Structure 1
């Protein structure tokens, strides 16, 4: 009898975790992403980087935060909720609540509503970040530690297509269970791109091609597209003003400790 009760308890706890995760609705770009941009250190022309000069070089910009903004978006989706009908907090209390969200490991399971950190006065992260962006920027973390993440070593030791195939399989598994996937995009040893994006949905594509929607912190105006080619066994990212477009390698980050 005691054993059966134990099994029942374990089953109940398992169902509770699954229910909490399943209760989290899919990410909506216009509501659940940050409304300000991660600005680039360099100026770009047709995807080619150039040093900033003149007045552009003197402007104060929010830079080197692509990893930070992807992580923050993931954490708010999992651990925060919003109450637009209550009065907003002052800067001090808002900062404390932001840190309560971002101190939780991004790879942990989503919290049920009653355990989430509440942000009164705003309907979603997009609205909060547009209205109180300065407070958010000051409390979600610095950009420089991302250069020293242990997981970055994979870009040197796991450069092959086999690792990319396994990453594609992991990406599919993560999205299939309704979770989010932060990817580090790189072309090392070439310096065309070293950047982070958040994969949140898959679109229908031609046979042998998987197309993904991503939140790119450099482009808060709308989702970007990244695809996997089964024939080429590689990922490709779309062309834009800050990237020439083409093949990239993808490495998951914030999926587990030390990643």
Structure 2
């Protein structure tokens, strides 16, 4: 499978996990871009619009010499996803959540490859604003969190491939599925015991949930896991070390 496609898929997982746990199909399917319907209003104070922008989004001028940017983002209702430049190209992550009464602060690194575009995904008719504050300081990545995100991405990929290989592609039998799940479960337990970041609690929550489904052949991933996985993917995205799933099946 194309690495670039997997990378974007992994990032979108981080962005959309708050909405749904149905992530196993992502490694084999690209999400279509929303229809461009926004009417952006660029200004020195930021940009605003109504509805989704599509990709690559609207003009979003960067300050010369800036090495990071914090965007104060507000939207009317529903879920949002905001992406600076091209996350797949940069190895960064879109950021997502639920529109609230108060604006949220979304932060990204700026590199020499960052392009001056911002894409926003919200429901049709939803108003939004994005006001940047630029800094000449580097974006601070938490190294311990980054390491835990990388390890969990491998484990989650193993669970995903076990389910897909058995249920969707018929490439694995029940014994092969069980062997893969057992090995990934051992690795998850080890991660829960050794994690040095804020994700440790979420890993610990996942361990019994996975164990309880060890006899559900082809269905180790379930909606019960939505809350801890959403917390993990959200934290990894905010750290700009997004989960990247490696799909084994599907061509």
> Structure 2 length as normaliser, TM-score?
0.26
| Greater Cα radius of gyration, structure 1 or 2 | 1
Structure possessing the higher relative contact order (Cα contacts under 8 Å, 6 or more residues apart): 2
